[in-house]
Amino acid sequence: MILILTPNIEPESNTYQQLMAHLSCLPDIRLRVHREEGTEQTLTEIYLIGNTSSIPTEDMRDLPGVDRVVRVSEEYRVLGRHRDDDRSSHFNYQGLRFGQDTLHVFAGLCAVDTAEHVEFMMRALRDHGQVCTRMGAYKPRTSPYSFQGHGKECLPYVFDLAGKYGIKVIAMEITHESHIDEIQAALHATGNPTGVMLQIGTRNTQNFELLKIVGRQQKFPVLMKRGFGITLSESLNAAEYLASEGNSRVVFGLRGVKTNMGDPHRNSLDFAHVPVVKRLTRMPVCVDPSHAVGSRTRGPEGILDIMHATAQGVIAGANMVLVDFHPVPNRALVDGPQALLLEELAQFLEDVQIARDAYEKRVKLAARYEDELQSAVA
Amino acid sequence: MILILTPNIEPESNTYQQLMAHLSCLPDIRLRVHREEGTEQTLTEIYLIGNTSSIPTEDMRDLPGVDRVVRVSEEYRVLGRHRDDDRSSHFNYQGLRFGQDTLHVFAGLCAVDTAEHVEFMMRALRDHGQVCTRMGAYKPRTSPYSFQGHGKECLPYVFDLAGKYGIKVIAMEITHESHIDEIQAALHATGNPTGVMLQIGTRNTQNFELLKIVGRQQKFPVLMKRGFGITLSESLNAAEYLASEGNSRVVFGLRGVKTNMGDPHRNSLDFAHVPVVKRLTRMPVCVDPSHAVGSRTRGPEGILDIMHATAQGVIAGANMVLVDFHPVPNRALVDGPQALLLEELAQFLEDVQIARDAYEKRVKLAARYEDELQSAVA
Amino acid sequence: MILILTPNIEPESNTYQQLMAHLSCLPDIRLRVHREEGTEQTLTEIYLIGNTSSIPTEDMRDLPGVDRVVRVSEEYRVLGRHRDDDRSSHFNYQGLRFGQDTLHVFAGLCAVDTAEHVEFMMRALRDHGQVCTRMGAYKPRTSPYSFQGHGKECLPYVFDLAGKYGIKVIAMEITHESHIDEIQAALHATGNPTGVMLQIGTRNTQNFELLKIVGRQQKFPVLMKRGFGITLSESLNAAEYLASEGNSRVVFGLRGVKTNMGDPHRNSLDFAHVPVVKRLTRMPVCVDPSHAVGSRTRGPEGILDIMHATAQGVIAGANMVLVDFHPVPNRALVDGPQALLLEELAQFLEDVQIARDAYEKRVKLAARYEDELQSAVA
Amino acid sequence: MILILTPNIEPESNTYQQLMAHLSCLPDIRLRVHREEGTEQTLTEIYLIGNTSSIPTEDMRDLPGVDRVVRVSEEYRVLGRHRDDDRSSHFNYQGLRFGQDTLHVFAGLCAVDTAEHVEFMMRALRDHGQVCTRMGAYKPRTSPYSFQGHGKECLPYVFDLAGKYGIKVIAMEITHESHIDEIQAALHATGNPTGVMLQIGTRNTQNFELLKIVGRQQKFPVLMKRGFGITLSESLNAAEYLASEGNSRVVFGLRGVKTNMGDPHRNSLDFAHVPVVKRLTRMPVCVDPSHAVGSRTRGPEGILDIMHATAQGVIAGANMVLVDFHPVPNRALVDGPQALLLEELAQFLEDVQIARDAYEKRVKLAARYEDELQSAVA
């Protein structure tokens, strides 16, 4: 059970003190307080943990300082979308809104190789009006003998160039807690020219210790990839590890799953889950067509499968697209064969926009039919 | 290797006789002739079967009566899209064109239960300008103790009502060769008021004996569903059984695959394969969102997952949509929980149109960029 | 609900007539009678179909001619092992007992190619005391352009040679109902020198029309292979199609399932399901290590993976082993790479015996501990 | 390429210095030295990393101090079993030999709950002559709101009791690098009464950062579980992360994989891979029947599926069995339903022995046939 308090309530206030005193007397119930300081107001939520089934919702709603009450189901307590749950489904970072109602494209390099390539990429993004990108510094590789990413060495020039070209948010995978400090240090050293969205890769979806540590910091939002060999429910539970530790600024990323049914694509695409994740949780949903498709094959109309997959995600309401580009794919150190070319960036962005426009029309259509139904009933 | 002859060539003509005489002398090569009589012209193709690698393409192209030559790869000889393969990717039936460039919606009853429900459905289709439907008479069920469909008993009223409401094509699953005769007899008895597209269900995708028999008749086109537990390549090979026996008027249907990764949907959606099937073969591609999703769950915008899945198929170029409706879903004998309501038909069709418009815009966009590239090169 | 009548009861007897008269008055209950004529006695079972939950078990037990009553669960009515179900779990054919308590090896040719190879195989079997074999005449192949088996042409010499070498039962896959007649005709023409166990292959596990027809004949027992892309429960339901039509002499065959997790084996082995099938149903269980493993790789001790897999099936209680041999594997037309050599037959049979001995010791061990527990309680 | 030096060679010796001087001149080749100090001798291996294809094997074999040379394939360089690779496939720990030729049972508690239960378990083990166990202190759980294990709090009494009952090795899962220090500290504090085999669970199989850190310590051997949603090859590559960092005392654990084909078992059993892992690598192989099966169901002979699965692993050559027991399963905090009872320990151990005896007979049988073949050829 979650008590959502009146906005801007102060922990020192009488109301708050009174409320907490009352709650602390509830038998067998532990309390957990989440405070989220936004630009306009501070939200305070109190989680009642334990057997809350016998506590009447109305009693809680009538307590001083309580604005409203959400009775959560067992699963996805913090991130879930529960009955009568009107908690927000967005967050702001670096002046951008990431919500179930927005769309951002994160085109960039799967793995940073040279400063020159980073600059090519970022300049192209700036020239096409983009302010987000993906840049891989830490690469988890199947074999220990493969290139593992340039790590912290490349961070200074990546961040500098981001600042130079107006990039506001970089999605960057981390595979160890120490990477958070390295990123923070490099941002500090370069004068905080950009922001970072920490990415948890598919191999670490159930690395719960890493999730807990990432969840304990609130500086960086998190892009949490679905585990490619586990169910959706298991992956959503894993995202909840982040939130249960305090960080609920989480985007959930679909990236295909491992089965024998996806061939000739590298993975089976799971973008049909876009509306499912948005229904079960309040997280914005990202799609990663590059890793899902894994090749530059194209349909008979000449459109790349990667673009088709992207359009499929976006027309169903995806809020973020993570996509690999590379100035010289055949010189990429990781996943070159699936990278789009810089010359394809313009078409890609226009293609995404067509799908987004279609999604918005579909939402309006649904609302119109809903209204008609309401009028008919009235 | 396929020799495509000049249109309307007559088997009795000198040219043809001469050609065949020459071909029959090729060592270790068997010949197979496919003739397809269209409304405007008759196409003749000669398949050279055996080790054709040593036969020069040019030699064959220069033979009398040969229009052009396609060197086929091992797989999907008849239905495949081979290098420099400009064979058509459409067919006509009942005055409708089924091609990789068209879109038809087949909304209807998963299983026919009563004549009244069939009439409700067909009237609604007519009122919304539809001329195709799906109607299940023969139902393959997991348990022998479940309802198995009304079979041939229901065919007369189904066909009569189709005629009454201007339905031109009914997609209808068959599970045994005798069903073809039953359908033919019932059509004849009712005065051929409509057409039938024979549907091979996912449990019979590798029922090769049935495929061979269906392939030997050319009266009815075929909707071939993907096997839900086999790879795409295995399913495409199975479709080739139809074509190798003579019937290449085949639509290939994606309907989700069985894995543990699709939950909470009934199956894992495989609509990312729409462009793949269109690239590998010349078959139009159908999507079946009802069986893939399997429920009436909806996203937070209020749009049904089934509509999202449909939009995902269509924006990537699907040519046919098979979708379950029912006037009273909770009285449906099969798969009621996934059926759309007749009141939702209008929204469904408009939603499909939005996705189709988006697809067409995307194709134009790709063509524009291709043109620019060509100009830049020139 | 199943009423098991007193053995050898005659349909013409008063008792029987009286019983049927009574049963036919039960409201909303349909009756289905199964009669199985054995060498020693004839068993009659009456299936009460419909809502039997309100019929007291005792009332039925007290009816004239009723020996005992089994209340069946919804699934696997005929083949299932229900609470207090002591119906038999074996059948006899050609003088051999096929039960959950026996073990038979069916070594042979995956696909019959020449009479010479068939003779090599059968002579080797006779020399090693074997009386069963597998011989493939009808081969369902992924591609229509692959060798499809010699079909009925090879049946005469296969049956003749079986007779010559004392082979009593041949497991033989059929893919169309007409094959039953062809087999019956060939057996008749050759003087019934051997018996045939009809095999339903993994691609036809849900070819319900074929199952119904095979189920309607009682001459041949059936080896029903698990579907490689469906769940165990779906496959067991499919076996029930055979039984629901009258033939319950069914052996259930595990042969591996299709996933991406079995590599480098061709399939994921599912022999852990041996005790599961024996618990859920009364069918004897067959394992097919050749198709599951699909290669001649071996462990560092020099033992073939196929032999390891076989031992795994047998030590858990498998009742039948289907295994591919070939005198000249590199000249086999189908699945040569996985075939064992005739020189390996002796080792294979001894290896199987070691595993079977171990299984029997394990059963005794379990019984001993069960006894001790009973004594302790008493 | 690996150069295996003469045993006990000293880094300060002339021979060694000379060798290294020579090797360091090889162009584009990096060197990596592995030293493993055993009780009897110290083994030194030098890995030549880079393009070694142009270096003749004989040249290297003739170098001073080189005993023999193994040319490794790309995959599994350290742990792999390469052509002509006679490196050992065992290691010793706490006076026990863990090899591809031995068998140890690790029965114990999935999750430590109370000291009393730990003592019950250890006393039972001692009474049955066992010197190994499993004890879970750190539990990775799907949901953040489930019990996560007692962590370091329980280590002192677990280790004390192990000492009291003569347990030499405890398999214990760790999920974070800090757990190694906690274990080491607790062992030190309790006077090192036992040994620990660090276990990497299935959710961390591709947590490469954890693997690297575990690989850098050589105090504890490692039990590396297969990832339940990745291929065997990916899991073996992950094990190589341990070895590439210096620790090659690794046991590889099969524990079932996640598919939709294993029902009603919790996972699909993959014990058919026992001989595969032993062929591809030099690691001993562990099977975990408890997590694979996940329930206490049993076959009609009264034998638990868990025991059948164990027998299947052992008869194919498994070297270690990890199995859950609990004195009071319905009070277990984790995975109680699958735990065996202490009263079942005796039967379990005897059942394992029957399967092991059968395996050893099978190995002898294979050797006998191999000998006969050799004699026949000679």
* pLDDT digits 0-9 by tens, D303-341: 999 999 999 999 999 999 999 999 998 888 888 889 999
C-alpha distance from D20 to closest chain A C-alpha (Å): 23
- Model confidence at A129: pLDDT above 90: yes
| Residues in D 315-334 with any Cβ partner in A closer than 8 A | none
Q: What is the pLDDT of residue A40?
A: 74
The fraction of chain D above a pLDDT of 90, given in percent, is 74
Best of A259, A260, A268 to disrupt the C interface by mutation (most C CBs within 10 Å)? Answer: A260
Max mean pLDDT among A75-79, C196-200, D74-78 falls in: C196-200
Q: Among A66-75, D163-172, D290-299, which stretch is predicted with the lowest mean pLDDT?
A: A66-75
Alpha-carbon gap: B141 to the closest alpha carbon of chain C (Å): 8
Report the C-alpha gap between D4 and D261 in whole angstroms.
Answer: 45
B229 touches chain C (CB under 8 A): yes
Tokens coding C233 = 């429960």
The predicted structure's pLDDT at residue D335: 82
* CB contact (8 A) between residue D263 and residue C232: yes
Smallest CA–CA distance, residue A8 to chain B, in Å, is 28
With contact defined as 3+ CB pairs under 8 Å, the chains touching B are A, C, D
Q: Is residue A135 scored above 70 in pLDDT?
A: yes
Task: Say what the pLDDT of residue B74 is.
Answer: 65
Q: CB distance from C175 to chain B under 8 Å?
A: yes
pLDDT at C336 (0 to 100): 80
pLDDT number for residue A199: 98
Number of Cβ within a 10 Å radius of residue B169: 24
Q: Which helix (H) or strand (E) holds D224?
A: strand D222-225
Alpha-carbon span C261 to D271, nearest angstrom = 12
The average pLDDT across B55-80 equals 86
pLDDT score for A342: 95
Lowest mean pLDDT among B31-40, B57-66, C253-262, D132-141: B31-40
Which of A122-126, A285-289, C303-307, D40-44 is least confident?
A: D40-44
For residue range B315-328, what is the model confidence (pLDDT) as tens digits? 999 999 999 999 99
Return d(Cα B304, Cα B296) in angstroms, integer.
6
Tell me how far apart the alpha carbons of residues C193 and C165 are, in angstroms, rounded to a whole number.
10
Q: Of A84-98, A343-357, C181-195, C275-289, where does mean pLDDT reach its minimum?
A: A84-98
Residues of D in contact with B265 (CB under 8 A): none
* CB-based contact B244 C49, cutoff 8 Å: no
Choice among A255-264, B156-165, C206-215 with the minimum mean pLDDT: A255-264
Mean pLDDT of chain A: 93
Cα–Cα distance for residue pair D353/B151, rounded to 1 Å: 58
In our burial notation (b when 16+ CB lie closer than 10 A, e otherwise), range D123-146 reads ebbbeeebbbbbbbbbbbbbbbee
Interface A-D: count of C-beta contacts within 8 A: 80
Q: Tell me, what's the pLDDT at C373?
A: 79
User: Please, are residues C100 and C90 in contact by the beta-carbon 8 Å criterion?
Assistant: yes
Question: Does any CB of chain A come closer than 8 Å to the CB of residue D164?
Answer: no
Q: For the segment B292-311, what is each residue's pLDDT rounded down to a tens digit? A: 999 999 999 999 999 999 99
Give how far A62 is from chain D: nearest CA, Å. Answer: 28
Closest residue on chain D to A241 (Cα): D144
What are the C-alpha distances in Å from A175 to residues A135, B180, D283? 14, 59, 27
Q: How far apart are CA B210 and CA B123, in angstroms?
A: 33
* Regions of chain C short of the pLDDT cut 50: none
| pLDDT score, position C98 | 98
Taking only the tens place, the pLDDT of each residue in A185-231 is 999 999 999 999 999 999 999 999 999 999 999 999 999 999 999 99
Express as a percent the part of chain A with pLDDT over 70.
98
- Cβ contact, residue pair B49, C145, below 8 Å: yes
HSE of B214, CA atoms in CB hemisphere, 13 A:
36
State pLDDT tens for residues D227-262: 999 999 999 999 999 999 999 999 999 999 998 899
Nearest CA in chain C to B232: C142
pLDDT in tens, B132-151: 999 999 999 998 888 899 99
Shortest Cα distance from C133 to chain B (angstroms)?
Answer: 25
pLDDT at C377: 67
- The arithmetic mean of pLDDT across residues A295-315, rounded, is 97
Which residues, other chains included, contact C103 with Cβ-Cβ below 8 Å and sequence gap of 6+? C314, C318, C319, C320, C321, C352, C356
How would residue A377 be classed by pLDDT, with cut points 50, 70 and 90? low
* Least confident range of A355-364, B238-247, C143-152, D46-55: D46-55
User: Which of D257, D315, D365 is the closest to C315 by Cβ?
Assistant: D315
C260 to chain A, any CB pair closer than 8 A? The answer is yes
Model ipTM value: 0.90
CA distance, residue B44 to nearest chain D CA (Å): 46
Q: At D278, list the tokens.
A: 């032993």
Identity of the highest mean pLDDT range in A18-22, A45-49, C53-57, C323-327: C323-327
Quickly state the pLDDT bin for D74 (edges 50, 70, 90): low
Q: Is the pLDDT of residue A39 over 70?
A: no
Mean pLDDT of D214-228: 96
Task: Give the phi and the psi of residue D179 in degrees, each rounded to 5.
Answer: -65, -30
In chain C, which residue's Cα lies nearest the Cα of B244? C144
Q: Which of C276, C299, C362 sits opposite D279 (nearest CB)?
A: C299
Query: A293 CB near a chain D CB, below 8 Å?
Result: no
Q: Where are the beta strands (DSSP E) in B21-143?
A: 29-37, 42-50, 66-70, 90-93, 96-99, 104-109, 132-135
d(CA A258, CA A273) in angstroms, rounded, equals 15
Q: What confidence score (pLDDT) does residue A260 get? A: 82
**pLDDT averaged over chain D?**
93
As given in the structure block, the two tokens for residue D130 are: 């066992």
Signed CA dihedral, A236, A241, A242, A245: sign only: positive
Give how far the C-alpha of residue C359 lies from the chain's centroid of Cα atoms, to the nearest Å: 20
User: Is A65 part of the contact surface with chain D (CB cutoff 8 Å)?
Assistant: no
Cα→Cα distances C184→B12, C179, C220, Å: 44, 8, 9
**In whole angstroms, how large is the CA radius of gyration of chain C?**
22
Q: Which residues of A144-168 are buried (b: 16+ CB within 10 A; e: fewer)?
A: beeebbbebebbebbbbbbeebebb
Cα three-residue angle D106-D109-D115, rounded to 5 degrees: 125
- Return the residue of B nearest to A275 by Cα: B299
What is the number of helices (H) and of strands (E) in chain B?
Answer: 11, 14
Window B:79-138, CB contacts with A under 8 Å = 81, 89, 100
Chain A residues lying within 8 Å of C259, measured CB to CB: 259-260
